[in-house]
Chains A and B, each alone.
Chain A
Amino acid sequence: EEQVLESGGALVQPGGSLKLSCTPSGFTFNNFGMSWVRQAPGKGLEWVSTISASGGSTKYADSVKGRFSIFRDNSKNTLSLQMSSLRANDTAVYFCARRNRAQKTGGYYMDVWGKGTTVSVSS
């Protein structure tokens, strides 16, 4: 079964840093781009960041640009999200998701999602 599992969520003070990890299983990790999506308490889904299969291309939401960094180690089958200068409005469940390519249009949708890891930013 194709799965991803997030870890690393914690309670952190404003201005602090945290690193989230995502571990895949059941598929060839280095064949797929990966994304982080977050969901604040009681709110909808917000795309955070995406990294290509090779790790050579990264994209970020404006809300996290300059503070978050996405990277991957294909040799260790690990995706990470390094978060710094954390704010109260970064409080959310962070989901890791696999990106898959739609054959007809070439666009990428997210087809395998983890259960999420909770980040709380509070003093």
Chain B
Amino acid sequence: EIVMTQSPATLSVSPGERATLSCRASQSINSDLAWYQQKPGQPPRLLIYGASTRATGIPARFSGSGSGTEFSLTISSLQSEDFAMYYCQQYNQWPPETFGGGTKVEIK
């Protein structure tokens, strides 16, 4: 089973600042990585797939990079609606498809 590790667990950022979230896979997953945003009481929302392709309707301030085992999600200028939980997920080798433990982006 591929283990996905996200860091940090919590990221405190001021509105307008840049945020960078990390995700590491226990073995190479090529570019088979997705990022999801989840707000309390809501389902996950797909942000990025293929490590770097924005999903339909996702603002350009969200960008993904990486391949192999190291990945990152960058939010270039945090807006109020971006404060949420973020999960990475690998879909290269499954079952099981595995999620990271999440990074909470909170207001500083």
B22 to chain A minimum Cβ distance, whole angstroms, is: 16
Tell yes or no: B96 within 8 A of A by CB: yes
For the complex, what is the distance from the CA of A73 to the CA of B100, rounded to whole Å?
A: 32
Number of A-B contacts (CB under 8 A): 70
Which of the segments A22-30, A83-91, A110-118 contacts the partner chain? Answer: A110-118
| Tally of chain A residues near chain B (CB < 8 A) | 25
Which stretch in B12-20, B47-55, B70-78 binds the other chain? B47-55
Interface residue SS majority, chain A? strand
* Residues of B in contact, count (CB < 8 Å): 28
| Interface residues of B, dominant DSSP | loop
Partner of A102, one of B38, B50, B99, B100: B50
Is A95's beta carbon under 8 Å from chain B?
A: yes
Task: Kindly identify, within residues 16 to 63 of chain B, every residue whose CB is under 8 Å from any CB belonging to chain A.
Answer: 30-32, 34, 36, 38, 42-46, 49-50, 53, 55
Q: List 17 A-B contacts (CB under 8 A).
A: A37-B44, A44-B100, A45-B87, A59-B94, A61-B95, A95-B43, A102-B49, A102-B50, A104-B50, A105-B31, A109-B50, A110-B44, A111-B49, A111-B55, A113-B44, A113-B45, A114-B43
